Structure 1
Amino acid sequence: MLFEFFHKPLEGLSYEKKKSVVQNFDRHILSHFEGIAKRLIDVINEADRRYYIEDAPILSDSEYDILRRAAVILRRNRSDLRSLLADIKNVGAKPSEKFGKILHRVPMLSLANAFTDGDVKDFAERIRRFLQFKSETPLVFTSEPKIDGLSLSLRYEYGKLVSAATRGDRYVGEDVTANARTVHDIPQHLKDGHVPDICEVRGEVYLSHADFAAINERQEAAGKQPFANPRNAAAGSLRQLDPAITASRPLRFFAYAWGEMSAMPASTQHGMIDAFRSFGFKTNPLTKLVSSVEEMLAHYHAIETDRANLGYDIDGVVYKVDDLLLQERLGFVSRSPRWALAHKFPAQQAVTVLEDIEIFVGRTGSLNPVAKLKPVTVGGVVVSNATLHNEDYIRGIGGDGQPIRNGVDIRIGDTVVVLRAGDVIPKVLDVVLDKRPADSKPYVFPTRCPVCDSHAVREVNPRTGREDSVRRCTGGLICSAQARERLKHFVSRNAFDIEGLGGQRIEELYDEGLIKGPQDIFTLEARNARGLQRLENREGWGSTSVKNLFSAIEARRSIDLNRFIFALGMPHIGETTARLLARHFGTFEALREAAKAAADHDSEAYAELTSIGGIGEVVADAIVEFFKEGHNEDMLDGLLREVKPVPIEAAQTDTPVAGKTVVFTGSLEQMTREEAKAMAERLGAKVAGSVSKKTDIVVAGPGAGSKLDKAREFDVQIMDEDGWFELVGRK
């Protein structure tokens, strides 16, 4: 079953969005997710920003993890949703402007998650299938506690610490070198004689429970707000502008991973950890080698049992394939390595009263119900909002149309069980039926938009023949809620990222009639200069804030093409899909022309669009429909008079196949299909699912059929696996 939820924007957010999360899901997710999948990326991006940059999470770990898990299932089973959900690979957040920036030579990715013992078994089986290992072939993993802290990358050159960077947006992190030097567990010089000349050691900065309690005592004694938990305290301590503040807090560091290495000190994961220890780092003593699923789970449950006695926070156990050569073969999928998995601990629950249900309208017109709770403490955090997912969930109906909670509906006044893991908003899990008030009445979900009073309808999914779970406002652009949310998306972190133009400012400027569309942002300064009531004279502004805003807007008149595409808010177009389109077409003009030509599904343009790796018919149709709308064309004409989208570089440019479009067909004998795709993408190539005139190379194995014929028809370069390996220098 699949559900979604949204809650009221929290006070003080510069980028306000409705949040959604998936509660439980099974095989029926594959036929019911399309209607809400496009919101996953927005939710995850905002959650990343709040978690990594503001150290103030807005989704619980389990809610956040389940979103990503759902997307992984869909990407494996529904080709039409793969590009739509491609942006779940993103992790981290844009580095704060208050710090310098450091480029990660090797991106800092995160891990896929498991929630059950069965998930761990599936993980091990997937690895065996990918590697084509038989059941009797040995496969060893390391198993280690997952520290709940702040990820940090330390760069040493000739044994000397030269820089320290947070994860940031996974490519660029915040420069916290001066602060890292004050952490006792971080060596200034590496002591072992076999340290590589270039050595990037990665790990987690954390606080012990005792040190956290002492810090909060000092915070309260000084009349300051105490930290919510050790993770937030550790992150806030490391990200201080004054290193003296960091030095005053007893931060600790466990080393367990690496980035750039001029030479590898070991050939196994556990060997690398041993090397870190010899260099002078602290490594977790609970890390051990396991050689079966049974041993993995036994270690997990042993750590879970002793979790409260560790003296520091962990939120699960991490399994990694031990052999580094196998790790290289396995490569990466989505946002995470295939060879690693984080097995998370269970969530927490509490009981309280549901006092009201409020409806909020999202960017796409979705009517999103939120439970307003009598405040309750769950795991040390007071919560008052919770997800109600959608209309059917309130009625006691699951995503497959079958009863949930034994068909019990949710009503105002009910005593409810809420579920929470981490530090953020919970979800309504169940109803305590014997405490239901005698005069309670079923909740009547609105059929008209609470913002613009337009009809709100549930469309029938043409693929399944069933009603979508989400009711949507039909008001479109006349609905101010949708217009506001689209503008907020346009200026959001992964889009135009305009400093000083957050959600509250968008609301204000929209209500004043100063910004109705994206193009109006870039004419605001000129109109302000001619206006009778200037922004700087309005309450809450001032000359400095207005000057800074206009400077931030001016700085975005030139923007990377992928960000420009993402900012437009086209359905199904997330960050990764926007990057795919930007790299494939090169310029916005080329994309625009292709989209218009692709309105004819029999055209070469439509074939080209759907042949792009990660772009299926659903995404292609969404692109076509966006450019067919006259008001979108008018908006683009106005926007492009003010803004210049800049082409982006290819992922890699120093390989023989960088920038080329490759198709693999037939039965590959020396590598699996997934392994071939992973290799090509690492080398900067684009992998397509079908052959077109734009295809550069077809790698054909035995049994290649129509794709090989089409390659010959289009005079495309054809080679076998040996030819491919020779071309890319792997033989």
Structure 2
Amino acid sequence: MASPTPQQRINELAEQIRHHDHLYYQAAAPEISDLQYDQLMAELINLEKKHPEFASDDSPTQRVGGDTVDHLVQVPHKVPMLSIDNTYSREELKAAMQRIEKSLEGSLEDGESVAWVMEYKIDGVAGSIRYENGRLALALTRGNGVVGDDITHNVRTIRDLPLTLRCPNPPAVAELRGEIYMTEADLADLNVRQTEAGGEPYKNTRNVTAGTIRLLDPKIAAERKLRFFCHGNGQIEGLDVSDHMSFLNWVKSVGVPCTPDATPLQSIDAALEAVAKLEVEMPDLPFEVDGIVFKVDSFSQRETLGIRSKSPRWVIAYKFERYEATTRLEAIEVQVGKAGTITPVAYLTPVEIAGTTVSRASLHNVDEIERLDVRVGDLVVVEKAGKIIPKVVRVEKHARTKALPEYQFPTECPECGEPLTRDEGGVYIRCTNPQCPAQLRQRLVYFGSRAGMDIDGLGEEVVDLLLQKQLVSSFADLYRLDVDTLADLTWPRQRKGKGDEMIDVQFGRKNAENLVAGIDASRSRGLARLLSSISIRHVGPRVAKLITAKFWNVELLKKATAEEIASIHEIGERIAESLVGFIQSDVGSQTLDDLASVDVVLAEPEPKESELDESSLPLSGKNVVATGTLEHYTRDEIKARIEALGGRAAGSVSKKTDFVIAGDKAGSKRDKAESLGVEILSEEEFRKRYETDA
């Protein structure tokens, strides 16, 4: 069969996308995933770019969302309600954010930078809530982005939305945009009522929300306990805010809930670090999240960037696919972490999700168990976000055919028997016994990991073997191990070809020599690496590096006060108090002294006097702009190098600029430097003048 012509494929894709738009926006019954939809749209966009003669005015690429439904009044948006471009990998996210920052390069004022705000991407229904002189006047769906459905009658039933803003002089118009959603717990309760009435249970929170918000009877909407998070704005009159974080703070102050944990970030690198952390440590949230959104904070920078026909240029989403399955909860057990945190774990009837078999999932903490009302024997919905994190998201309470006892969280540590304590003002319950064997195991495992001291050969099995043979009871004991002792150890191994039969096998001289060599190599990792490896609360690799830049050996660190450490940029009181508390405790002092006694290096290279005295650095007091493509540096690297030499890396050229480093395709910044008479250096000239190793 012949391949379709470009025109035929464009028409075919357009029809497919219209079909899926109808299912998603009107019927609330999507047939394909967001990723599959985005792939169809991307193919259509690319084809229309290559063959503009076949693009039509009514193409899905020219529209936002879907058409409005017929049974509700349709109202134009004062400001178009656009959608967001998506990425599905950290590489795509980084590239998109770099494109956005590059678009701003020529417009930034001297010393101005691009700040970002990170927010959860709530999986609900987009809504716009309009307040006039402080009173809720109108609520609309996104509709097609230009015209939305009037859902004011249902939005007025959302209990966490005030009917009147809590402020004495409200703005004339405040159009708050955000997500209408339902919690997993409320869906579980709704499904109980639904099945008791003889109906079918609802599959997920988004479908319920999409259907509920368009109902004609507000009484039904009120029963379903919809909620709202604000994450943006439409038309605003009479409110003076210049950035997104200030706007969100104002919104919260007048009584409207905002997307929680909105985080300001000062660089793309910080954003990528935040994404990596969330992928591993996504908190227990009572609502569905299908991604993370990054927005330029400054409203003036947003105005400079502008919008496309479909989406703003100042925002990008990092989405992860969600995969879920239903299975039975067979047991709940608790584990003790390296910081003493007691984490409940759900043991499940094995179920396949996203190509892997899942038999366990974290329940996070006691509050999560209570929120879910999860009980042993329950049928539960388990989700993996981004194919990474198994999580129990909902109990199918309607399937609970008999009374099940509530789970009783332990009051004593399951490993050492000591009483458990709850963090003051927090959600975590801990074992505070520093000699707890379970904590020691987890600390040793982390100490040997790549993120820790990177000791080749020191994995979980070896740690278990060393503890079982009572050869280690501290970090320093690792450095006292010798080849002869290790070589004679035996550990259980499965006999080849004999099913599950286990036999004792000698550890062996080769394994012993490799392990001792790996341990010995770790002695010289330095103080920063060590501090982040010995499980001091709140002290990770970046924090340790910042602290040891000022207190570069253990003697200086022992003399440092919490106030001195807290004064370091990015550290603060909580981290400082945790570190000083550890160092001054009997356990902490003994740990460091013990490590010193086995020749572990507890210092960083001492800074040169010139590095401590910034005024003596070659670029001290100078404003430097780097532009164009450089051969030896990335954008972040040249900025870091300028700052390391004492200079200030500016984003735009002005009369205050001391010189410009111009690479390939330098463009407008080079032109402006020439017009102002600012010195221009090539990359090679910069390296010869300021880099001693160039």
Q: TM-score, normalised by structure 2?
A: 0.44
TM-score (ref. length: structure 1): 0.42
Larger RCO (CA within 8 A; separation ≥ 6): 1
